[in-house]
Structure 1
Amino acid sequence: MFDTTRRRAMQALGLGGAATVAGCSTQAPTAAETETERRQMEGTATPTADQVAADPTDLPEPIDRDEPTTHEITLRYEEVTAEIEPGVTFDFMTFDGQIPGPMVRVRQGDTVDLTVENPPENALPHNVDFHAVYGTGGGSVATTAAPGEENAMRFRADYPGAFIYHCAVPNLDMHISAGMFGMIVVEPRDGLPEVDRELYFGQHEVYTDGDVGQEGKHSFDMEGMRNENPTYVLLNGEKYAWAAANRGPIEVDQGDRVRVFMVDGGPNYSSNFHPIGNVWKRAYRDGGVPEDGDLDAYADKNIQTVKVPPGSCMIGEMDTPVPERIKLVDHALSRVARRGMLAEVDVVGDENEEIYDPDAHDSSQEGPQYA
Structure 2
Amino acid sequence: MSYLRAPLRTSWRLAESRPFISPRGGASWSRARRISTDSFKTATKHASNNRLLYALVLSTSVSLGTFLYSGRQDSVRMNWGPAAKAGGDSVTTQQTIPFIPARPGPTTDPNGDIYETLDDECLDVAKLPRERAIMTSAPLVPPPITRDYPVLLEVPLTTTTKEMQLTGQYKYEQWTFNDIVPGPFIRARVGDVVELALTNEDHTGNPHNIDCHAFTGPGGGAAVTTAEEDQTKTGRFKLLCPGLYLYHCAAGPVPVHIANGMYGLIYVQPAEGDLPPVDREYYVMQSEFYHEPPEVLEDGRRSTTVEFSYPNGLREEPNLVVFNGSESAMTRDRPLKANVGETVRVFFGNAGPNLTSAFHVIGSNFKNVYRDGDVLSPPGRFIQTVGVPPGAATIVDMKMVVPGTYAFVDHAIFRMDKGAVGFLNVSGKAKADIFESSEHPNPCVGCKLHP
Question: Of 118, 143, 168, which aligns to 2:200?
Answer: 118
Structure 1 residues 54-106: Cα deviation after superposition (integer angstroms, max 9, x where no partner):
431x2211111222222111011111111101330111111111111101111
Which secondary structure state, in structure 1, belongs to the residue aligned with residue 208 of structure 2? coil
Residue type matched to 1:135 in 2?
G
Question: Of 288, 293, 297, which aligns to 2:374?
Answer: 288
Residue type matched to 2:281 in 1?
E
Q: Are the structure 2 counterparts of residues 153 and 344 from structure 1 closer, same or farther at C-alpha, using a change threshold of 3 Å?
A: same
Hey, which of these two has a bigger chunk of helix by percent? 2
Q: Which residue of 2 aligns with 1:210?
A: 293
Q: Which residue of 2 aligns with 1:155?
A: 237
Which secondary structure state, in structure 1, belongs to the residue aligned with residue 258 of structure 2? helix
Cα distance in 2 for residues equivalent to 1:234 and 1:267: 12
Q: Does 1:102 align with 2:188?
A: no
Q: Are the structure 2 counterparts of residues 320 and 175 from structure 1 closer, same or farther at C-alpha, using a change threshold of 3 Å?
A: same
Q: Which residue of 2 aligns with 1:347?
A: 426
Q: Which residue of 1 aligns with 2:264?
A: 182
Cα distance in 2 for residues equivalent to 1:279 and 1:241: 23
Q: Which residue of 2 aligns with 1:25?
A: none
Cα distance in 1 for residues equivalent to 2:383 and 2:205: 43
Q: Are the structure 2 counterparts of residues 237 and 215 from structure 1 closer, same or farther at C-alpha, using a change threshold of 3 Å?
A: farther
Q: Which residue of 2 aligns with 1:225?
A: 313
Which secondary structure state, in structure 2, belongs to the residue aligned with residue 208 of structure 1? coil
Aligned positions of 1:262-301 closer than 5 A: 262-290=348-376, 298-301=378-381
Q: Following TM superposition, by how much is the alpha carbon of 1:343 offset from its aligned partner in structure 2, in angstroms?
A: 1.0
Cα distance in 1 for residues equivalent to 2:437 and 2:192: 49
Equivalent pair of 1:89/1:216 in contact (CA under 8 Å): yes
Q: Which residue of 1 aligns with 2:414?
A: 334
Q: Does 1:356 align with 2:439?
A: no
Residue type matched to 1:356 in 2?
F
Q: Does 1:259 align with 2:339?
A: no
Which secondary structure state, in structure 2, belongs to the residue aligned with residue 272 of structure 1? strand
Cα distance in 2 for residues equivalent to 1:98 and 1:123: 19
Q: Following TM superposition, by how much is the alpha carbon of 1:121 offset from its aligned partner in structure 2, in angstroms?
A: 2.5
Identity of aligned residues (%): 37
Cα distance in 1 for residues equivalent to 2:202 and 2:344: 40
Which secondary structure state, in structure 1, belongs to the residue aligned with residue 143 of structure 2? coil
Q: Which residue of 2 aligns with 1:313?
A: 393
State the TM-score, normalized to the length of structure 1. Answer: 0.77
Residue type matched to 1:308 in 2?
V
Residue type matched to 1:92 in 2?
Q
State the TM-score, normalized to the length of structure 2. Answer: 0.64
Which secondary structure state, in structure 1, belongs to the residue aligned with residue 207 of structure 2? coil
Equivalent pair of 1:128/1:140 in contact (CA under 8 Å): yes
Q: Following TM superposition, by how much is the alpha carbon of 1:360 offset from its aligned partner in structure 2, in angstroms?
A: 7.2
Q: Are the structure 2 counterparts of residues 142 and 95 from structure 1 closer, same or farther at C-alpha, using a change threshold of 3 Å?
A: same
Cα distance in 2 for residues equivalent to 1:68 and 1:358: 54
For the aligned residue pairs, the C-alpha RMSD in angstroms reads 1.7
Q: Which residue of 1 aligns with 2:11?
A: none
Equivalent pair of 2:369/2:397 in contact (CA under 8 Å): yes
Q: Following TM superposition, by how much is the alpha carbon of 1:120 offset from its aligned partner in structure 2, in angstroms?
A: 5.6
Equivalent pair of 2:346/2:397 in contact (CA under 8 Å): yes
Hey, which of these two has a bigger chunk of strand by percent? 1
Structure 1 residues 206-233: Cα deviation after superposition (integer angstroms, max 9, x where no partner):
100128xx86211111110110001000
Q: Which residue of 2 aligns with 1:93?
A: 175
Q: Which residue of 2 aligns with 1:366?
A: none
Equivalent pair of 2:245/2:373 in contact (CA under 8 Å): yes
Which secondary structure state, in structure 2, belongs to the residue aligned with residue 148 of structure 1? coil
Equivalent pair of 2:160/2:202 in contact (CA under 8 Å): no
Equivalent pair of 2:138/2:185 in contact (CA under 8 Å): no
Report 1 or 2 for greater relative contact order, CA contacts < 8 Å, sequence distance ≥ 6: 1
Q: Which residue of 2 aligns with 1:140?
A: 222
Residue type matched to 2:371 in 1?
R
Q: Are the structure 2 counterparts of residues 78 and 227 from structure 1 closer, same or farther at C-alpha, using a change threshold of 3 Å?
A: same
- How many correspondences in the alignment? 297
Which secondary structure state, in structure 2, belongs to the residue aligned with residue 354 of structure 1? coil
Cα distance in 2 for residues equivalent to 1:360 and 1:97: 45
- Report runs of 4+ in structure 1 exceeding 3 Å deviation: none
Which secondary structure state, in structure 2, belongs to the residue aligned with residue 137 of structure 1? helix
* Unpaired runs of at least 5, structure 2: 1-135, 295-301, 441-451
Name the larger-Rg structure.
2
Equivalent pair of 2:343/2:397 in contact (CA under 8 Å): yes
* Unpaired runs of at least 5, structure 1: 1-52, 362-371
Question: Of 325, 345, 348, which aligns to 2:405?
Answer: 325
